[in-house]
Structure 1
Amino acid sequence: MPTLSRWLTAAAAALLVLVLVLALWLLATTSNKDTPAIGVPPAGSADAGFARDMAVHHQQAVEMSYIVRDRTGNEEVRRLAYDIAQTQANQRGMLLGWLDLWNLPKTSPDGYMTWMQGTHMSHRMKDGSLMPGMAATTQLDQLGKADGKRAEILYLQLMTAHHMGGIDMARACAQQCTVPQERKLAQGMVDAQQSEMKVMAGLLRARGSAPR
């Protein structure tokens, strides 16, 4: 009887390995096809467009947060900047990971924001910025040259505008995207960034300033 038990255990383990191998083979062959697999959004979809564009949008937020971290010694602003940088870097990794999983390009030949055509944007693009809310190159240069209180105010103003544009994009994905996990992430961005905007407004008031 012990021998039979060991044989059944070994057979069950072998069967499990076989099932896993077949599953991995099916996943590999499916992802290598030119046509998207079932459940994979097309390249021109809101799901893919949001993942591509928000990854770029987030990258600038991370960049600005690291700049201000080196331009001020204020722990409150440095802590906020660190939280924003870590959160958006992690979310950016998820968005790029989904594009890899879907076997879709990380850039669109049609440019930025094409997936949002016809969608109302409350925050428009500034001269030289890639997407709504993003800072222009000249503004990033100003942030990199500012120090202390001036750097803090400029960062808080730029990040408030950045969040406003990002919230518009995330809200559009929460309404238009078809992948449940991506819609959930987008709605989480809306909620978190609205909360951070309130914190930034308070920090600006404490410095005798306001969002622009």
Structure 2
Amino acid sequence: MRPVLAVEDPAAALRHLVQVLGLVAEDATTLRFGDQRIFLCPVDAPPPGLIPLRLDHVALRIGDADACRQRTEARGGQLSANFTPNGPAEIAAFWDHGVRYVFFEGPEGWPVEFCARIGLPDVAEGHDHLAIRTPDLGGVEAALAAMGAARVAQHVLGSGDTAVEVRFVKLDETMFELFDEPPIPAPAGPGGWIGFLPD
């Protein structure tokens, strides 16, 4: 699946994704990071065929989150104040040995995550997951299941009133991360990760 990022200034967004975050531009609307393609559009012109399940962020697979931080900051990247303001963080519960990840501010403030699975430093860069923040985990999972998706993992992070449920759901070769953490302040403006396109 190709996540769709809607922005007010597509040309500036493309420059940010290429020059700062290290993606490769295939043309004026499509960028690539390994096997993950991203579609860029103006806020008032969503592409035909869009599946409008809004994404919280897009996560790109890397081998080393700390090295990613160094090279991205060297290109002018800014750590996301909402996600990883102090640099890479870890979640030990995910997958076999946990993940180490870092978020950067993407175009117009919409976040991009770089995620490394601990113990797998030599993976090819590309797709890791598309994340959906929602209080209705069951409803979103059912919508993806209707397209053919299946759950592959489930976790509860934390406890009590601050516990967050996370479900990983796979649709063809695309992994979705569904989580019910409360909303955080969103960037100003009408854009964002507005959904995805079938490959």
Q: TM-score range by the shorter chain?
A: under 0.3
Structure ranking higher in strand proportion: 2
Calculate the TM-score normalised by the size of structure 1. Answer: 0.20
Calculate the TM-score normalised by the size of structure 2. Answer: 0.21
Larger-gyration structure (1/2): 1
